[in-house]
Structure 1
Amino acid sequence: MSTPLDSTYGAWLVSLFIETLLYGMGVLQTWIYFAGRPTDVASVKWTVLVVLALETIQVVFFFHSSYFRFVERFGQIQIDLYWADSLQLLAAYLSAFIVQLYFASRIHKLTKARRKLSLSAIGIYIIFLLAVFQIVAGIVQVILTYKLRSFLKLSETKAVTTLQSVTSLACDILITTYLCLFLNTQKGEMMGTNMMMDVLIRDAINRGVLTALSSALNMVLFLALPNTFWFFLGLAPSSKLYMNSLLTTLNSRQHLRDKVAASDEGWNSIPMATMATRSGNMPKKIQGQASTAAVDFEMASVEINGKTEDFLPCPSWRT
């Protein structure tokens, strides 16, 4: 038979356990990323470091809040919000915002050469706006919860909490949709290339589903089960899913290059000029280059300031 503690501190501890596991995975992915000595531009490396710092802050203060309640105040009925609760929530929202901006900026750069003022261009700017609305609503929510200072009054934040979850969910769905549409346009007459695009499309969907589900779960549980902590099951792990999504995207690039290069089908053996003639949509600055450039293009890499800034939409769980 369930008790009130199952839906409050029970859900709290389960959420802490899940997010700690995901944080450990993210730290390992970060070590793998920098151990590989990436040639990414500095902005990408700093993005990884900032996300790692924010996620570390979130975990530390979530654990600190748990220790305060379960050890220092053991046996006491507690309904007050601790300052660490607001701080860890803000760190989680900021981390998710940075990752959303990263994916949105990559889509913007990848499609910039082929994009004109159209519904497609408007849609990309909508993604940026949704990411901004998400973080603004998140900051307002943090301020309100800090002022309320009571878990019993969280229902008063229903409007802004719902807005934060909805905008985050919509942003993830649009990012996934645009990735799939862009990758689908890269298909041509080469069977090997089409197979690779299908893999990347599937991976983009997997990545987007995980983060979108966490936002949806947070919203549904918060509205359907008030005065409980079940919504923590969607809220607490969400930023860790964003962190792992970003890092596996960066770490899996070389693996996919090796997979393409090792293929017996000779996906990258056709001169770039031939591919450009057939497809008619290859960027002019890379036409006629070696097969390695062809592989990089098919894997959606971008040449910026003399360095290759790659983008691959891979799922949070795949290496």
Structure 2
Amino acid sequence: MSATLQPGSPLDNTMGSMLLGVIVSAVLYGISLLQCLFYFTRYDRDPFYLKALVACTVFLDTMHLTFVVHTVYHYLITNYYKTDALQVMVWSVSLEALPTGLTAGLVQSFYAHRVWRMSHHNVVLTGLILVLVLATSACGTAWVVLALRAGTYEKLLAISPLTISINALSSGADVLITVTLCFMLYNTQPASLETETMVNRLILFTINTGLLTSLCAVASLVSLIISPKTLIYASFYFCIGRLYSNALLASLNARAVIRGRINDVDSNFHIKTYTTRTMHVSREVFARPHRDDVSTAGELAVRIDRSTHYDDEGYGMAKYSPPKSPNLSTPLADAA
């Protein structure tokens, strides 16, 4: 039995778990702020909707951290030695699920849009992901309403199946997104060694960013099933929102590194492949000049076209050709 259901029991698996979750969540929040600063200083040419998405996730992270800090302070400081207060759910512990659910929904919708573009507008696959995202959001909203009405942790046990459903749906959406992106990237036919390297980086990065959120959601789900009368799951659930925002920011900030140009401020990478013996790789780079090098306020645009032709023996002879008309971007470039 937990301390919230039986006065006098140790607080290790209840308030102790919540405290550990707050500490880890605060560390991840600091990393989110650092990544947010890096994003807005390096990728100022991104479209408005991406900047708004980043701003919303950081705002929701701030709101969530405020709620969980208030929760721990309420139980461990304000009501210290008051065992009766441990039975009552403070308002902040119920509302903290709202910003977490909104953050997860926004980030998963962003990845669903990426799947939509890379799958050449696959309605069934993208629709399945969106259905899981919407179902998770609906269940999360219902949980917040029911938790506010419950009032005590003992009554909260009555909606444990809904809590388990939320974690299961969220885990399913994360796993489906990660597997889908990796599968589509794996089936991409690289046009050159440079393109193949970028594909491998994308696959590895997709696994890493999706794995953390999936593992955290699964750990929260397992904790709920194994120990439903404790708050061990809270130590994982408090960190899910931070992991979603960090995964989003990491995917946006790592675009230059994935493309192999770490020092780029912003870039558009276009790849076009041909099935004939002639391979043409077009690269378009738009970068801001350094203040020390250029005194004007204008911008520098550089375009390099490189063609590789194969002779009869199969050896490539590389040469540079004059600039041609811009190439259309492919889903692979969008994934970066």
**TM-score exceeds 0.5:** yes
Corresponding position of 2:15: 9
- Are residues 278 and 121 of structure 1, via their aligned partners in 2, closer, same or farther at CA, if it must alter by over 3 Å? farther
For 1:186, the aligned partner's letter is T
Please state whether the residue corresponding to 1:40 is helix, strand or coil: coil
For 1:36, the aligned partner's letter is R
Match of 2:65 among 34, 59, 63: 59
2:108 counterpart of 1:100: yes
Please state whether the residue corresponding to 1:228 is helix, strand or coil: coil
**Percent of pairs with identical residues:** 25
Offset, 1:136: 0.6
Cα distance in 1 for residues equivalent to 2:224 and 2:152: 15
2:81 counterpart of 1:75: yes
Give the unaligned 5+ runs of structure 2. 1-8, 285-302, 307-325
Cα distance in 2 for residues equivalent to 1:21 and 1:261: 27
1:211 and 1:241 in contact (8 A); partners too: yes
Give the unaligned 5+ runs of structure 1. 263-267, 302-310, 313-319
- Are residues 218 and 177 of structure 1, via their aligned partners in 2, closer, same or farther at CA, if it must alter by over 3 Å? same
TM-score (norm 2): 0.76
Of structures 1 and 2, the one scoring higher in RCO (CA 8 A, sep 6+) is 1
CA RMSD of aligned residues (A): 2.9
Please state whether the residue corresponding to 2:247 is helix, strand or coil: helix
Cα distance in 2 for residues equivalent to 1:97 and 1:22: 19
- Are residues 291 and 28 of structure 1, via their aligned partners in 2, closer, same or farther at CA, if it must alter by over 3 Å? farther
Deviation string 1:194-237 (CA, Å, 9 cap, x unpaired) is: 23212211211111111111111111101211221110122110
Residues paired across the two proteins, number: 282
Cα distance in 2 for residues equivalent to 1:63 and 1:154: 21
- Structure 1 residues 174-253: aligned runs within 5 Å: 174-188=176-190, 190-253=192-255
Please state whether the residue corresponding to 2:12 is helix, strand or coil: helix
- Are residues 21 and 206 of structure 1, via their aligned partners in 2, closer, same or farther at CA, if it must alter by over 3 Å? same
1:257 and 1:295 in contact (8 A); partners too: no
Offset, 1:110: 3.0
Cα distance in 1 for residues equivalent to 2:79 and 2:210: 40
By percentage of residues, which structure has more helix? Answer: 1
Please state whether the residue corresponding to 1:5 is helix, strand or coil: coil
1:193 and 1:298 in contact (8 A); partners too: no
Corresponding position of 1:148: 150
- Are residues 37 and 123 of structure 1, via their aligned partners in 2, closer, same or farther at CA, if it must alter by over 3 Å? closer
1:217 and 1:233 in contact (8 A); partners too: no
- Are residues 261 and 84 of structure 1, via their aligned partners in 2, closer, same or farther at CA, if it must alter by over 3 Å? closer
By percentage of residues, which structure has more strand? Answer: 2
TM-score (norm 1): 0.80
- Are residues 124 and 298 of structure 1, via their aligned partners in 2, closer, same or farther at CA, if it must alter by over 3 Å? closer
- 290-299 or 45-54: which moved more? 290-299
For 1:90, the aligned partner's letter is L
Which structure has the greater CA radius of gyration? Answer: 2
Cα distance in 2 for residues equivalent to 1:222 and 1:279: 57
Corresponding position of 1:86: 94
For 1:170, the aligned partner's letter is G
- Are residues 66 and 153 of structure 1, via their aligned partners in 2, closer, same or farther at CA, if it must alter by over 3 Å? same
- 99-108 or 249-258: which moved more? 249-258
- Are residues 177 and 74 of structure 1, via their aligned partners in 2, closer, same or farther at CA, if it must alter by over 3 Å? same
